[in-house]
Structure 1
Amino acid sequence: MMFTVEELVRVTGGEWAGAKPSDGPTSIGHDTRCSMPGGMYVAIVGDQHDGHDFLDQAAASGASMAMVQRPVSGSLPQLVVSDSIIALGQLASAWRDGLNKTTVISITGTAGKTSTKDLMQHVLQGSLRGQASPASWNNAIGGPMSLLQARRDDDYVILEVGTSSPGEIASLGSIMRPDLAVITLVGHGHLEGLGSLDGVRHEKYSLLDHVRPDGLVIVHDDGHEAACAARILRHGDRESSNPRLIAREAGCITLQDESTFEFPWAGQHHAVNALAVIAVARHLGLHDRAINEALATSTPSHSRGCEKIACGIRFIDDAYNANPDSVAASLASFPELSAAGRRVVMLGDMLELGLDSDRHHAELASSIDLAGNPESIDVLLLFGEAMSSLHLQFKDADSVHYWPEIDDEVITEVADLLHVDDLVLVKGSRGMRLERIIEYFQRRESEASTA
């Protein structure tokens, strides 16, 4: 049992409508598609769906009670609160108070949050017991839900922290109160809501205000100062970095202390993020041998640089999200990959960049090499209205193709441009859903195998 019936009322300020449940919940969830025997279903009012419409499904999934903003008909006992999301955060904060044996690790940044979180989980889970935020559960709902999944006897819990407007990270930080905080690269992301690079940095660094004084902060070393009561390490490849990456070759990375780790990922940016993982693992008592064994078997997360092969075409699926810094990093690492055929790059709009969107898209041209060398890009495919600014930089290049939107007809046209043995990088913001192109080839391959 996570909370008693009385504690639920005390923490949230809610009231039971009708009969109270006999016992508190064994779990807390908001997705009726997941089994929740003895759990409490949280009805959340979203942009697309109202969770209050799914209480019957929650009961069928095993929930024994629900937290709602208004009473609704149904068999479940209902705790009525003024705001389900706020109450969810209150419950997560109260749960955090009881995680005395658990190291709470929070990760934020503009690029690399999820990859670093997943890599950290891969390394730690071989030696310790713990949890990590599922997928990209990093907002006002996913953050508290991730924290509520932690067990009181876990050694650690890794929590991803995202934002799109000022104050969101401070709010999540006050709930999580991390023992360890990691800040990956801070760059030009969510400018529409955060205004400027300084605004982004201020928002990301606000997490540090909530790190416990005896904790540890690991910040990407970009030359900017970070201040908080906890001890600070700056990971990177600058002279001032500690831990510092001094070499990367033959699938290995070497640190300034001359320790070497197997790390088969392409890209300097991934290697720098691995330094933060190594620092956290060492802080939690893992020996370098165990860290090395885990890093050696790690692979990029789903749609964050993972490899997929369909119809003889090798896709690098990095289509989960995009901003100017992450796109530049992906383009820089692309030549490191071996290619049996042509090198093809597909780029979709980078969304939420505000008034400077056109400039940021046009400036990607400096990261694109169409010179015809063995490691150059042979074909560049651009999608979305904002990518027109980049297309203008290459309007006379026969190897560059542009579509202002992407639909089934466009995907068919793209398919005709790709060849067997092509190496294809797919990168764009979540809203562009460029993975549809990969899925088209996967369906075609599946249909061919069953014909």
Structure 2
Amino acid sequence: MITRQLRKIESMIAGAKWIGENVQIHGVSIDSRTVVQGNLYIPIIGPNSNGHDYINGAIQNGAVATLWKKDQPNPPQDIPTIFVEDTLIALQQLAASYRNQLKQATFIGITGSNGKTSTKDILHQVLSTRFKTKKTIGNYNNHIGVPLTLLSLDEDVEMAVIEMGMDHLLEIAFLSDMVKPDIAMIMNIGSAHLETMGTLENIAQAKCEIVTGLKKDGVLVVNGDDDLLLKETKRHSCKQLTFGEKSSNQLYLTSFHQGESSLQFTASNSNSMFALSLIGRHQAINCLAVMQVAHLLHLSEADIQTGFRQVQLTTQRNEVKRFGSVTIINDTYKSNPESVKAAIQTLESLPNRKRKIFVMGDMVDLGEQAVALHKQIGTYIAEANIDMVLGSGDLTFHTITSIQERDTSPQADFFLEEEKLIETIIVLAKEPCTILLKASRSLQFDKVVEAIEKRLMK
């Protein structure tokens, strides 16, 4: 984490004015509840709260200094203070300056509509076999999370894997300028953020902004299966490496086998079989992207194999738990048409003969196309080789209706009440089955999963 005297911190922020003792800070926090001894507290003004109001709590928890927006009243008198025009901008400037001082580290930036977090986790594990490696914690991938991630890096870090998300044009460009990646990765383009971005073309343009801060001799690793994405990346002159399913890619999948809780695959550059304790063909594609980066950084095949065997994903991403003859797959962090299709394909590919049940909640942020896309995904699911679909959510109603209109579809039922959905799942779980739950985070299906798991553990 960043460790600097306040005099140095002041010099890293434009227009800052420091008052008080020249103490040394160890790390930063924007949340008074998570402050630990030695931290610099950075109070952020948000839509629902003002971090300046919690300065006393930050001091009680160990903050030794604070940033303070100049127009905010009642600055603290008992710890040193750096006055700034805007504390959020100051956080970002401090992070950008600190990143520039980490000259020995290699920075890898990751973006894409789906698979960012899983790929980050896999890449982190592979690089950790040879290097001191740090990654974005959880989903800290925006204009606040990325600066916090940068400031959490130790001075002797060798590899930094930074996830970058976006809600609008120029956001990834801003983050890329801050991170200045040596290697940039674009996993794919999908329907996520159609509500704010309008078209897939705009989403492709926004994702390609990751090259904005790419070093002069940097490399872009890109999914070559996506024609729209490739069309956009061709506008950029940086070196590019492709991965994917198609044999036109520089690295492509040559075989895939799905086990009940693990996968195996082969790739075009090796005769070896690679194995991970993950499920889903899409995870094998994510691994190809990781392998391209690993090759750039001169890791051996043995290093890659070792890293793959040790992978553990962030929670709510294809998280598998077993309760006797019942398997629960929790994929409730994010949902859009592309990731729902990947989830269905995963459920279909599982080799067990148990009943396969798909539980779906709304896909959000799809804008004017939301209803149409929910109907379309229903048409897709209707052709799937699964046994049952349960749905909940205003938009998912259209998915279930679309499935029910097909004579050969899996059984499909819609639930207005969450408790009735849970009760139905518990009854179904009296027989051997695999249940995959998929929804956008705002549907809070993680609570549905938690309720089901508690009941199954009794």
The normalised TM-score by structure 1 is 0.91
Instruction: Report the RMSD for the aligned CA atoms in angstroms.
Output: 2.2
**Distance (Å, rounded) in 1 between the aligned partners of 2:401 and 2:10:** 59
> 2:36 and 2:237 mapped to 1: Cα distance?
40
What is the total number of aligned residue pairs between the two structures? Answer: 441
Which residues of 2 match residues 17-96 of structure 1 at below 5 A?
A: 19-69=19-69, 70-72=72-74, 74=76, 75-96=78-99
SS in 2 for 1:106: strand
The residue aligned with 1:422 is 433
Partner of 1:359: 372
2:400 corresponding residue in structure 1: 391
- 1:153 matched residue in structure 2: 156
Cα 1:254–1:177 shift into 2, 3 Å: same
CA contact (8 A) 1:132 1:158 kept: yes
Query: For 1:260, what is the secondary structure of its paired residue?
Result: coil
Aligned match for 1:132, one of 109, 123, 135: 135
DSSP 3-state at the match of 2:3 = coil
Deviation (angstroms), 1:409: 5.3
SS class of match (1:22): coil
Query: How far off is 1:106 after superposition?
Result: 0.6
Asked whether the equivalents of residues 192 and 366 of structure 2 are also in contact (C-alpha less than 8 Å), the reply is: yes
Match of 1:381 in 2: 390
SS of the aligned residue for 1:394 comes to: helix
Conserved? CA contact 1:235–1:276, under 8 Å: yes
Q: Within 5 Å, give how 1:292-307 maps onto structure 2.
A: 292-307=305-320
Structure 2 contact 243–252 (Cα < 8 Å) conserved: yes
Give 5+ residue unaligned stretches, structure 1: none
How far does the alpha carbon of each residue in 1:198-221 deviate from its partner, in whole angstroms, 9 at most, with x for none? 010000001112210111110111
Q: TM-score, normalised by structure 2?
A: 0.90
1:247-258 equivalences in 2 (<5 Å):
247-249=255-257, 251-258=263-270
Q: 1:400 to 1:32 in 2, by over 3 A?
A: same
Q: Residue 334 of structure 2 aligns with which residue?
A: 321
Report what 1:102 is aligned to: 105
Q: What do residues 370-395 of structure 1 show as CA deviations (whole Å, max 9, x unaligned)?
A: 67xxxx22110111111122122123
Letter matched to residue 235 of structure 1: F
Q: Indicate yes or no: 2:188 matched with 1:175.
A: no
The 3 A distance-change label for structure 1 pair 59 and 261 is: farther
Q: Structure 2 vs 1, CA of residues 72 and 126 (structure 1 numbering), >3 Å: closer, same or farther?
A: farther
Change (3 A) 1:183 1:439: same
1:212 aligns with 2:215: yes
Q: Which consecutive unaligned segments of at least 5 residues does structure 2 have?
A: none
Say if 2:246 and 2:252, in contact at 8 Å, map to a contact too. yes
The code of the aligned residue for 1:21 comes to: E
Corresponding position: 1:243 with 2:254:
no
Match of 2:354 among 341, 351, 355: 341
Change in Cα spacing, 1:255 to 1:341, as seen in structure 2 (3 Å) is: closer
SS of the aligned residue for 1:158 comes to strand
For the structure 1 residues 259 and 82, does the alpha-carbon distance in structure 2 shift closer, same or farther, using more than 3 Å as the test? farther
Contact kept in structure 1, 2:425 and 2:452, CA below 8 Å: no
| Contact map agreement 1:212 1:230 (CA 8 A) in 2 | no
Which amino acid is the alignment partner of residue 431 of structure 1?
S
> 1:267-324: CA deviations, max 9, x gaps?
2211111011111122222111111122133244311101023475311111010111
Paired letter, 2:376: E
CA distance 1:95–1:305, change in 2 (3 Å): same
Alpha-carbon distance, 1:68 to partner: 2.8
Q: Does the 8 Å contact 2:124/2:134 carry over to 1?
A: yes
One-letter amino acid of the structure 2 residue matched with residue 133 of structure 1? T
| Matched residue type, 1:425 | L
- In the alignment, structure 1 residue 431 sits paired with structure 2 residue 442: yes
Going from structure 1 to structure 2, the CA distance change for 1:22 and 1:47 (only over 3 Å counts) comes to: same
For residue 12 of structure 2, what is the amino acid of its counterpart? V
Q: Deviations over 1:218-250 (max 9, x none)?
A: 011113231434311011111221122122236
Deviates more, 1:389-398 or 1:317-326: 389-398
Change (3 A) 1:395 1:445: closer
Equivalent in the alignment of 2:239: 231
> Partner residue of 1:121?
124
Cα distance in 1 for residues equivalent to 2:273 and 2:303: 10
**1:191 pairs with 2:194:** yes
